[in-house]
Amino acid sequence: MGILNLLFTVTIILCINSSHIHGYDPLDPYGKIIIKWDLLLSSPGHHEVKVTLENKQEYRHVEKPGWKLRWHWVNKEVIWDMRGAETTEQGNCSAFASGTLPHCCLRRPTIVDLLPGAAPLNSQVSNCCRGGVLTSMSQDHINHVSAFHMSIGSFPDDPGEFSMPYNFDIGVPGYSCDNATSVVPTKYIADKGRHKTQALATWEAVCVYSQFRSSQSPKCCVSLSAFYYQNIVPCPVCSCGCSSSHCVKPGETPPYLQQKHNPEEEVSPVVECTKHMCPIHIHWHVKVNYREYWRVKITASNYNTMKNYSDWNLVVLHPNLKSVQQVFSFNYKSLTPYNDGINDTGMFWGVKFYNDVLLQAGEIGNVQTELLLKKDMVDFTFREGWAFPRRILFNGDECVMPSPDDYPRLPNSVSPSAVISILTIVFCFLLLLLA
């Protein structure tokens, strides 16, 4: 058992590292954010561009305070005008001493989305003005895209040819972007579809997420219980790290009430003091056993005193998700990234205006669902930890699971860890081969 556990740990570490360094997520293998540039008009010294950010990820989203797009100009470009977004700084425009000044003269501008409701109509374009928030593709068909328009010119001593900028950055922790490459020009529908126009040229830069790059410590953990087992198996101690040990004790005033923070910046979590020290805690309870069905209750709790999680989501891997009969109080979507008929992964998210916001600790602070699963007589069992999830992700970040040795077990059954270790090793080995 000792050797197996060691092998298990080593494989897990290798597995997590390999997938995270490359930003490759086997549950969302095509997930990415695309920055698209459509050159709409171009003459020396005057170029019109439409920039689109599209979140092509099944479950990851960009939350408040939103994206902050940066790039590096190749020549001495300036931005004369912007619709649907603005730069954070104008920079030094003293070369244009006479007449109106450009909107931005920086070599490396930072662009932010306009705030919802605040932008005057003449400075809006479609898909703009959502404060930089991009929903996940599964949760929303419209708000996973953001767009703005720019008029680009150049300094007086520059010939004013258009060159695609480089070194893109979306300003969201965990993402890194490639340089843009030229793609097939975007087509636009005109005259109710009878006529199509197209961009003069189109480029795309691809940004991918890596949890490893986003933060060194995990952001959530999982605890387990079952009707046939007397104890609750808690989250592992210090799942989310205990070294940065500032936490709020019961009765203490959370810091968000004490200090004003800049709404433009992501606030680092301040958690309620627990043994796991995670901002998010997921509990999986095997609740009832029927003849043909069984019932699970999932609870997500917020221990972060600094944040309400809007449009939160959970991704769960469990073999019985292929036979989901009913999901109560949450939305559900089966994820089948490889179209290979294996649908053991599902995504859960809140019902709009009911439980789509997971309120900060101190408020209600949790959301719950129950699932009814149909027993598949070939593999259904309460033995060997089978009834528990293989993986859980909250907002796209992997949650820490208890050790298989500690899983609830049926009276007089063997430890499930051997089986799970071997399965995990095989699974990770396959992943390593793929990556």
Ligand X SMILES: *[C@@H]1O[C@H](CO)[C@@H](O)[C@H](O)[C@H]1NC(C)=O
Of the candidate spans 108-116, 291-299, 301-309, 380-388, the one that interacts with ligand X by CB under 6 A turns out to be: 301-309
Site for ligand X in 323-382 (CB under 6 A): 324, 334, 341, 343, 359-360, 363
Put residue 136 in one of left, alpha, beta given phi > 0 → left and psi -120 to 50 → alpha.
Answer: beta
| Cβ nearer to ligand X, comparing 233 with 357 | 357
- Report the residue from 43, 92, 100, 258 that binds ligand X according to the rule CB under 6 A: 92
Distance CA 253, CA 132 (A): 30
Q: Do residues 303 and 274 make contact, with C-beta atoms less than 8 angstroms apart?
A: yes
Query: Least distance (Å) from ligand X to the CB of residue 49?
Result: 19
List Cα–Cα distances, 87 to 114, 167, 179, 196, 341, in angstroms.
Answer: 10, 17, 21, 32, 46
Based on C-alpha coordinates, what's the Rg of the chain? 25
Task: With CA atoms as reference, report the closest residue to 146 among 165, 136, 166, 132.
Answer: 132
- Report the residue from 2, 30, 43, 94 that binds ligand X according to the rule CB under 6 A: 94
- Report the residue from 4, 6, 95, 232 that binds ligand X according to the rule CB under 6 A: 95
Angle between helices 2-21 and 417-434 in degrees, nearest 10: 30
- 192 phi, psi to nearest 5 deg: 50, 35
Query: Least distance (Å) from ligand X to the CB of residue 10?
Result: 31
Amino acid letter for position 353: F
- Report the residue from 307, 316, 320, 385 that binds ligand X according to the rule CB under 6 A: 307
Of the candidate spans 91-99, 245-253, 369-377, 407-415, the one that interacts with ligand X by CB under 6 A turns out to be: 91-99
- Report the residue from 179, 244, 289, 299 that binds ligand X according to the rule CB under 6 A: 179
Query: Least distance (Å) from ligand X to the CB of residue 39?
Result: 19
Distance CA 174, CA 208 (A): 8
- Report the residue from 322, 367, 399, 400 that binds ligand X according to the rule CB under 6 A: 322
Distance CA 93, CA 70 (A): 19
Of the candidate spans 90-98, 227-235, 269-277, 370-378, the one that interacts with ligand X by CB under 6 A turns out to be: 90-98
Number of residues that bind ligand X (CB under 6 A): 19
Of the candidate spans 34-42, 286-294, 303-311, 413-421, the one that interacts with ligand X by CB under 6 A turns out to be: 303-311
Task: With CA atoms as reference, report the closest residue to 372 among 289, 249, 301.
Answer: 289
Site for ligand X in 237-296 (CB under 6 A): 256
List Cα–Cα distances, 370 to 209, 388, 394, in angstroms.
Answer: 30, 14, 17
| Residue 308 in the binding site for ligand X (CB under 6 A) | yes
Task: With CA atoms as reference, report the closest residue to 139 among 357, 305, 378, 290.
Answer: 357
Of the candidate spans 26-34, 87-95, 205-213, 283-291, the one that interacts with ligand X by CB under 6 A turns out to be: 87-95
| Residue 166 in the binding site for ligand X (CB under 6 A) | yes
- Report the interface residues with ligand X, using CB under 6 A: 92, 94-95, 166-167, 178-179, 256, 306-308, 322, 324, 334, 341, 343, 359-360, 363
